């Protein structure tokens, strides 16, 4: 697929259905995402792939943590939303290695204060390449943030190193919802060009 078509095709698809997952295919996507720029090339982004029982574990954990915090009138909607993720093929858990950030801060004290922001900029690009990689292979996905509610439980389940901070969850699978068009801002409001 042409790059520009891929960029336009990527959407947040939250109601999923399962398709077979080739773990090597997903690993290939992560290998591609490793090419994103990184502050001083420290490479802070990490990913864990959860499929099958592990994927179910992620979304049952989310459900168990979120339901007690959900207002009664929103219960049905919230349960349906989480069921839409759980019905997918797998979830990529995206982490930031805080140890790598600390190493960077010690190495470059002049920029120490900016490092957490730089790290998140890398993570954003890492997530985006993963998302496009999934779309290129015919999957649909979305970007979710049930952290920090689920951090401890997933850390135990997946032996997550202590320094890794959960940043997002990317549930993926086949789309099981209609895809609405998206309004974009007027280009003149977001872009200016100067020659002098
Ligand atoms: C930093 C960031 C955080 C987001 N967090 C969530 C989230 O927690 N849950 C969710 O359903 N979508 C989340 N989104 C997706 C946006 O809602 C979505 O990208 C936006 O509405 C545009 O729609 P599109 O992705 O279909 O183009 C997030 C997007 C970004 C960039």
Please list the residues that pair with 166 across neighbouring strands: 95
User: What confidence score (pLDDT) does residue 68 get?
Assistant: 97
Is the shortest distance between the CB of 14 and ligand 1 below 6 Å? yes
Residue-number span of the structural domain to which 128 is assigned: 3-176
Rounded mean pLDDT, 83-112: 96
User: Nearest 5°: CA angle at 123, between 35 and 175?
Assistant: 90
Q: Is 160 within a domain? A: yes
User: What confidence score (pLDDT) does residue 118 get?
Assistant: 96
Write the CA distances from 145 to 22, 130, 160, integer angstroms. 25, 16, 17
**pLDDT over 70 for what percent of the chain?**
100
Q: Is 29 within a domain? A: yes
Distance CA 168, CA 173 (A): 17
The CATH number of the domain holding residue 171 is 3.40.109.10
Closest residue CA from atom 21 of ligand 1? 12
Rounded mean pLDDT, 12-16: 98
Where does the pLDDT of residue 50 fall: very low under 50, low under 70, confident under 90, or very high at 90 and above? very high
Into how many domains does the chain fold? 1
Q: Is 39 within a domain? A: yes
Closest residue CA from atom 28 of ligand 1? 143
Q: Is 187 within a domain? A: no
Is the shortest distance between the CB of 98 and ligand 1 below 6 Å? no
Distance CA 46, CA 30 (A): 9
Rounded mean pLDDT, 110-139: 97
Q: Is 149 within a domain? A: yes
Q: Is 185 within a domain? A: no
User: What confidence score (pLDDT) does residue 34 get?
Assistant: 98
Q: Is 60 within a domain? A: yes
User: What confidence score (pLDDT) does residue 1 get?
Assistant: 86
pLDDT(157) > 90: yes
The closest-lying atom of ligand 1 relative to the alpha carbon of residue 127 is 31
Is the shortest distance between the CB of 144 and ligand 1 below 6 Å? yes
User: What confidence score (pLDDT) does residue 109 get?
Assistant: 95
Where does the pLDDT of residue 155 fall: very low under 50, low under 70, confident under 90, or very high at 90 and above? very high
Q: Is 110 within a domain? A: yes
Q: How far is the CA of 160 from the centre of ligand 1 (A)?
A: 25
């Amino acid at each position: 697929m042409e790059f520009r078509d891929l960029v336009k095709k990527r959407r947040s698809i939250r109601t999923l259905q399962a398709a077979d997952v080739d773990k090597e295919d997903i690993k290939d996507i992560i290998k591609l995402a490793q090419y994103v720029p990184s502050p001083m090339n420290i490479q802070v982004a990490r990913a864990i792939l959860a499929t099958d029982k592990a994927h179910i574990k992620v979304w049952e954990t989310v459900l168990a943590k979120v339901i007690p915090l959900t207002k009664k009138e929103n219960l049905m909607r919230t349960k349906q939303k989480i069921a839409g993720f759980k019905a997918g093929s797998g979830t990529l858990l995206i982490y930031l290695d805080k140890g790598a950030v600390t190493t960077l801060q010690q190495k470059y004290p002049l920029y120490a204060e900016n490092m957490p922001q730089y790290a998140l900029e890398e993570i954003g690009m890492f997530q985006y390449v993963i998302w496009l990689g999934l779309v290129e292979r015919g999957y649909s996905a979305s970007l979710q943030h049930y952290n920090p509610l689920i951090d401890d439980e997933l850390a135990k389940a997946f032996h997550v190193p202590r320094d890794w901070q959960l940043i997002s969850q990317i549930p993926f699978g086949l789309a099981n919802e209609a895809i609405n068009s998206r309004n974009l801002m007027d280009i003149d409001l977001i872009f200016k060009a100067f020659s002098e």
